[in-house]
Amino acid sequence: MKTVYVDGKFLPWDKAVIPVDDLAVLRGYAVCDIIKTIGGHPYCLDAHIDRLLSSAEKVGLTPVWTKAEIKKIVFEVLEKNAPMDEANIRILVTGGSSPDFFSPADNPRLIVLVTDIPALPAQWYTKGVKVITFVQQRSIADAKATNYIPAVLALKKAKAQGAVEALYMTPDKMVLEGTTSNLFALVDGTLVTPEKGVLKGITRKTVLALGEKLFPVSEQDLSLDTLLSASELFITGTNKGIVPVIQVDDHIIGTGMPGPGTRALMSAMADQVGRSCNSPSVI
């Protein structure tokens, strides 16, 4: 059975609990981050912990741990669960117990879990995937809050339509990101990704760094019309890597096959992953 860190203690999975008056339970008030281990080593750990702490700050949570302390706990959890060659580390900072069941009382809880990584179908990468769009925006988009209710509903809808991801879109049809991924398009030879209203993915940052070696790169607003006219599209995320997108709603993108630009980036990414985070050491 896996060992979990909860609020100062290392506990077996089935004993790892938080009190019912924690604001994460009562109000959905918590932030999180997900890291992938490669060869047992957490990839881009610093970047993920930086984002966790910045997410906490953005939602008004005061973490009482330093980055070094969180890293130490992560390594202890990994050691207690070894060997975990490829796994996810899930870190949560909860709102903590609240006397009035609403206002944070500066007593957040830290949780660190290790979970298995779901295997993704190989044909996602060889044939590409379908995604759908839905009109919704994440509040405090650059914080990774644990509230994924709209995302869960949208993904259910996506799956019912044979799609693997749902893209957030503003009421005026600016496309933002997926429920657990960032979005990239090749538009007239330029690699474009939305900048505003999205979570700044760690994979997104790596792809931007790798992409700069291959194409002009632009972080800018992306309308649905532009998206549909793109020659290539793909989504990115810690667990997914780079997944080519060949269909958005009823529209086929480009040739309907993963394109050369996406494939070049996938291969650059495959060489990069496990090496330095975000700095293109390979191409």
Q: Is 109 in the site for ligand PLP (CB under 6 A)?
A: no
67-80 vs 45-58: helix crossing angle, rounded to 10: 120
Q: How far is the CB of 175 from ligand PLP (least distance, A)?
A: 13
23/243 with CB nearer ligand PLP: 243
> Is 36 in contact with 88 (CB distance < 8 Å)?
yes
Q: How far is the CB of 211 from ligand PLP (least distance, A)?
A: 14
CA–CA distance, 246 with 130 (Å, rounded to integer): 6
58, containing H or E segment: helix 45-58
DSSP-derived 3-state class of residue 211: helix
Rg, Å, the chain Cα set: 19
Q: Is 180 in the site for ligand PLP (CB under 6 A)?
A: yes
CA–CA distance, 53 with 49 (Å, rounded to integer): 6
Q: Is 81 in the site for ligand PLP (CB under 6 A)?
A: no
Q: Is 204 in the site for ligand PLP (CB under 6 A)?
A: yes
Which part of the chain contacts ligand PLP (CB under 6 A), choosing from 62-70, 110-118, 175-183, 222-230? 175-183
Question: Which one of residues 131, 177, 233, 243 is an interface residue with ligand PLP (CB under 6 A)?
Answer: 177
How would you class 236 by CB atoms within 10 Å of its CB: exposed for 0-12, middle for 13-18, buried for 19 or more? buried
Q: How far is the CB of 44 from ligand PLP (least distance, A)?
A: 8
Report the residue count for the chain. Answer: 283
Q: Is 202 in the site for ligand PLP (CB under 6 A)?
A: yes
Q: Is 203 in the site for ligand PLP (CB under 6 A)?
A: yes
Binding mask 231-270 for ligand PLP (x = CB under 6 A): -----xxx--------------------------------
> Is 151 in contact with 237 (CB distance < 8 Å)?
no
Where do we find the tokens 């009482």? Answer: 64
Which part of the chain contacts ligand PLP (CB under 6 A), choosing from 64-72, 105-113, 230-238, 269-277? 230-238
Instruction: Give residues in contact with ligand PLP (CB under 6 A).
Output: 34, 177, 180-182, 199, 201-204, 236-238
